[in-house]
Structure 1
């Protein structure tokens, strides 16, 4: 038996810098990972099966459409009992499915001794390689270009998902421009959360505007976070999850309590975006 943690992936920035002839978008994104996430457990078995448990298990498919089973097949594994303990909302812009797939690759590699696929899971989705790395990275191209970012300060944060569905393909289709400027190269160094937040404020998530137009609750989530005076509040990925950055864990926890009290039906979590190991 083997286990692996599948942390939430957060896009601190997400610049859409182009589009390939095959339709895939080119990205330049600063990615970090939270201290909360899902968990994968694998055990030897005659058949390949998936069981989903946990507080966010409702509606998660257990058939071949789930990236967890697709990851197992990508490794050539045909016999394993896989349990996914689901704590993150699905289709939320925080890489839940991709991180689950990456954790499955790690767990199965540990159990079977097999190597992960040569493409590091890119064929499963653009976010799988960075989730396999599970460390702060600059992600470029269609997800294949990963550069570790070793000097980010530890960050106290709040994640908020208002519970609305946001279609990633629809958000990309609604982009006003697909050839936006990338982040500076090289990235600067940051000596504190405030310094990093100040720099991030001059960067972008190019998917935020079309997501706000498609899903007004995302704007409500951002407004709720900004009302608590964080260092920064922004949407992650293609939404609907938004995050805020704070000077301290106490500030993040106070923000989470306030947002939860005002919106008890939202998914709200105080967490940390850990320093790169």
Structure 2
């Protein structure tokens, strides 16, 4: 058996923080979307589970006890072991749900090979708030901590997207800790595009306070007149959506010439 899956990069087209919860988490309303590019996982049959990590950012995942791919394998019953090679193309601690996307890809691999248990959603949520959304990797609304999912028809599929990260990792917890406490209000109503255009990211100010290059990334993206440029999740990755592949690629080239040290990924919304 040999199965391959892409761990699609997650972006938050809008992210409204509503309140702090007593358990330390935050109540959110977010519009998840996914890019048709990301990490790559290849799985083959094995006597026991084993995870091998390669790729540009593979060296960051050097703790086998904190590897979410291994945790995802342990979370799902099956008769055989799997050897998984993870090509880590997405930066870590970047607001792209990279680890959650990897876990979601593991769930899809196991679903294809063996099927998933009925309570797979609960098992996914225990691995991380973004993991349930990443299993299906389709545009949807997330509430609660992000695990309460509501499907939405998307009118954004195929939209060209550019991801840019200043290569500065940004942990989620400090960004949420710096949230000013103001309720961002509910997500706007309407289509996915309406929600995106009239929504916001309530963590942007806190993230910029911790990682000032985010402001520079946003300024450069917005200067190219995209449909929208916004920070994803808790940062530091920002995204821009464009009307054409030419506009996207022109922006990518321009940023690459002036800031070759920044990480970029091009794709389209799924």
For 1:110, the equivalent position in structure 2 comes to 112
TM-score by length of 1: 0.90
CA distance in 1, matches of 2:226, 2:263: 18
> Which residue matches 2:166?
162
C-alpha displacement of 1:4:
1.8
SS at match of 1:103: helix
Alpha-carbon distance between aligned partners in 1 of 2:179 and 2:44, rounded to the nearest angstrom: 43
Report the Cα distance in structure 2 between the residues aligned to 1:127 and 1:55, rounded to whole angstroms. 23
Deviations 1:239-265 (A, max 9, x none): 010011111111111111111111101
What's the counterpart of residue 260 of structure 2? Answer: 264
Report if the CA contact (8 A) 2:139-2:154 is conserved.
no
Equivalent in 177, 181, 184 of residue 177 of structure 1: 181
Given that residues 15 and 183 in structure 1 are in contact (C-alpha distance below 8 angstroms), is that contact kept between their aligned partners in structure 2? yes
Q: Residues 62 and 170 of structure 1: is their aligned pair in 2 closer, same or farther, counting only changes over 3 Å?
A: closer
State the secondary structure of the residue aligned to 1:13: strand
Q: Give the deviation of 1:157 after TM superposition.
A: 1.4
Q: In the aligned structure 2, how far is the partner of 1:64 from the partner of 1:54?
A: 19
Deviations 1:208-266 (CA, angstroms, capped at 9, x unpaired): 10000110111111112122221221100000100111111111111111111111011
Structure 1: unaligned runs, 5 residues or longer = 191-195
CA RMSD of aligned residues (A): 1.8
Q: Tell me whether 1:61 sits opposite 2:62 in the alignment.
A: yes
Q: Quote the offset at 1:108 in angstroms.
A: 2.1
| 2:208 is the counterpart of 1:206 | no
Aligned-partner SS, 1:16: strand
In the alignment, the residues of structure 2 paired with residue 74 and residue 199 of structure 1 have an alpha-carbon distance, to the nearest angstrom, of 34
Match of 1:88 in 2: 90
Describe the shift of the 1:51–1:79 C-alpha distance in structure 2 as closer, same or farther (beyond 3 A). same
Q: Which residue of 1 aligns with 2:250?
A: 254
Moved more, 115-124 or 257-266: 115-124
Pick aligned residue for 2:226 from 212, 221, 230: 230
Give deviations 1:48-77, integer Å, cap 9, x for gaps. 211012233222235020100000111135
Which residue of structure 1 lines up, in the alignment, with residue 132 of structure 2?
129
Write the distance in 1 (CA, Å) between the matches of 2:256 and 2:130.
Answer: 29
How far off its partner does 1:160 sit?
A: 0.1
| Distance change in 2, residues 1:156/1:17 (3 Å) | same
The aligned runs of 1:5-16 (5 Å cut-off) are: 5-16=6-17
CA distance in 1, matches of 2:44, 2:213: 40
What is the aligned length?
266
* Separation (CA, whole Å) in 2 of partners of 1:35 and 1:151: 15
Gaps of 5+ in 2: none
Aligned twin of 1:141: 144
Alpha-carbon displacement from aligned partner over 1:149-174 (angstroms, at most 9, x marks no partner): 21323321111000012121001111
Give the aligned partner of residue 193 of structure 1: none
| Shift, 1:142, TM fit | 1.4
